Amino acid sequence: MITYEDRRLRTLADQGRWAEVLGRFRRARAAGRVREAGQFGHLLAYGAPPELAARLFDREGAPGGTADVDDHDAGPLWEVLATRHSWRRLALQLGPAPVRRLVLHTRALLGEDLRHGAEPDEEGVPLALEPWEAAGWDERGRVREYLRTGGARRALHSLPAGREGLGPLDLPDRGATVPGLAATRLLDGYAPWARAVCVRGTAPDAVAHLTPARRITGGYLPFGQAYPGLVQAASDTPDAGSAQGRLAVWRVLAAMTGERVVLLPEVRALVARLRCFTWSEPGDELHYLHVAVEDPATGLAWALSGNTPEPGWI
């Protein structure tokens, strides 16, 4: 968090002397002072005019003095920037393709429809939220809320959020898993604290592989209600943003259709037929994810489950 022990920096910001703040960022980053650079970068991304804040990511600085998608303080600098300005104000300012892409998807999460106002996504992910994406959460909780002086607030989307609507269920015996599928490989790397499995069968058949209990408290829910937790699980560290979580969900859905890129009609049909299941675990505390989906068209089911390893992971 920015403490502004450097009174000169605070004065520069208050007076709008952003070019000098940018110079301080570049020197700190080039010298490897990561924390200091992150603080200066946060200040710029949050408060500077878009034409100057975007220069965090340009190539004019000294070697090593330019931010990339990994630079962060309370969150990625590109996400801080994307929460402060519309795409129309940023489009002509942002050069690097990876940054542009993540800013675009952040703006989509915040409600902008950019299907006709920006370059198409390289993987075919739509630049406007699908109805099932928007249904499960309030716009204000989709991206971290950044603070001017550093730090951020983020609503936790644990799944299940509670036991309402869930009931007792006896799990079946563990069946044979289905190896080698791209969707399973993506889910295996989805979050460092979660495990994934794929089976031929139903969602409870998959769940049986991820919990030692034979009787659980669980139930079915619309996929849209599970979506916020899936986005957040894939973006729950300070160097990752909600746009990366959204892209991770779409990659998994594309893989479940058997494709490497998103074919929108196929993904829409998949989401419409998926049966989504969630359950609770005795050790659930702060942030956790227990979700399984079954595809009646293929007879396959995937489950993903885990708890964050310690408080404050997010």
Q: What is the pLDDT of residue 313?
A: 43
Q: 37 with 72: CB under 8 angstroms?
A: no
Tell whether the model's pLDDT for residue 1 goes beyond 60. Answer: no
Write a three-state SS string for the chain: CCCCCCHHHHHHHHCCCHHHHHHHHHHHHHCCCHHHHHHHHHHHHHHCCHHHHHHHHCCCCCCCCCCCCCCECCCEHHHHHHHHCCHHHHCCCCCCHHHHHHHHHHHHHCCCCCCCCCCCCCCCCCCCCCHHHHHCCCHHHCCCEECCCCCEECCCCCECCCCCCCEEEECCCCCCECCCCHHHHHHHCCCCCEEEEEEECCHHHHHCCCCCCCEEEEEEECHHHHHHHHHHHCCCCCCCCHHHHHHHHHHHHHHHCCCCCCCHHHHHHHHHHCEEEEEECCCCCCCEEEEEEEECCCCEEEEEEEECCCCCCC
The pLDDT > 90 percentage for the chain reads 82
Tell whether the model's pLDDT for residue 56 goes beyond 50. Answer: yes
Tell whether the model's pLDDT for residue 150 goes beyond 90. Answer: no
Q: What is the pLDDT of residue 279?
A: 98
CA dist., res. 163 & res. 85, Å (int): 39
Q: 240 with 69: CB under 8 angstroms?
A: no
CA dist., res. 310 & res. 314, Å (int): 9
Q: What is the pLDDT of residue 61?
A: 65
Topology at the third CATH level for domain 167-307: Protein Transport Mog1p; Chain A (3.40.1000)
Q: Domain coordinates of the chain in residue numbers?
A: 7-153, 167-307
**Comparing C-alpha atoms, which of 143, 105, 123 is closest to residue 267?**
123
pLDDT, tens only, 78-105: 999 999 999 999 999 998 999 999 999 9
Mean pLDDT of 29-49: 94
Average pLDDT across the chain, whole number: 93
Q: 202 with 249: CB under 8 angstroms?
A: no
Q: What is the pLDDT of residue 4?
A: 44
Pairing of strands 215-221, 167-170: antiparallel
Tell whether the model's pLDDT for residue 14 goes beyond 70. Answer: yes
pLDDT, tens only, 176-235: 899 999 999 999 999 999 999 999 999 999 999 999 999 999 999 999 999 999 999 999
Q: What is the pLDDT of residue 175?
A: 82
